[in-house]
Amino acid sequence: MSKERYNQIIDEVYNKYADSHFIPPSNPKSDFLTGQLFSVIPMEHSKESFINEIKNNPKFSKKWGLNIKERELSRKDRNTYVFENIQMVSNMFNGFFASDVNMMNDNDFNFIFTIIPTKLITLTYNNKTIEIYE
């Protein structure tokens, strides 16, 4: 659910950014068409570069009211995550440990460790914070 909300917020803010590049007509009642048309300022950022700019430029981040912070989780953080989410993690591991552990290969063990998050993303928008573990 958090990842979906994260993507919705990113889309919402990026759309506001994109819409800010439209300039209303200078003279909507003009006899000439050029005064009645919207203008467009070329966009500097793709969605990906917009997100990177939000992450790395506090002034830009403040302008759009969005803050994204990423940090790598330490081993202690990962252990805490497993402890706090033990039911979810045990459900993920259930298939592995239900069978004979001696029959597990390296790929099985590698998979187990890839489902424990290594990164925490914190998104703040409109005074609401969402934390996503990846």
pLDDT of residue 1: 53
pLDDT of residue 2: 82
Nearest to 38 by CA among 24, 28, 19, 21: 24
* Averages of pLDDT over each 10 residues, the chain, 134 residues: 88 94 81 77 92 97 97 90 72 56 56 77 94 90
pLDDT of residue 18: 93
Domain boundaries, the chain: 1-65
Whether residue 124 contacts residue 67, with contact meaning beta carbons closer than 8 Å, is answered with yes
For residue 129, give both structure tokens: 């914070």
Measure the CA–CA gap between 92 and 76, rounded to whole angstroms. 20
User: Which residue(s) pair with 128 in the sheet?
Assistant: 125
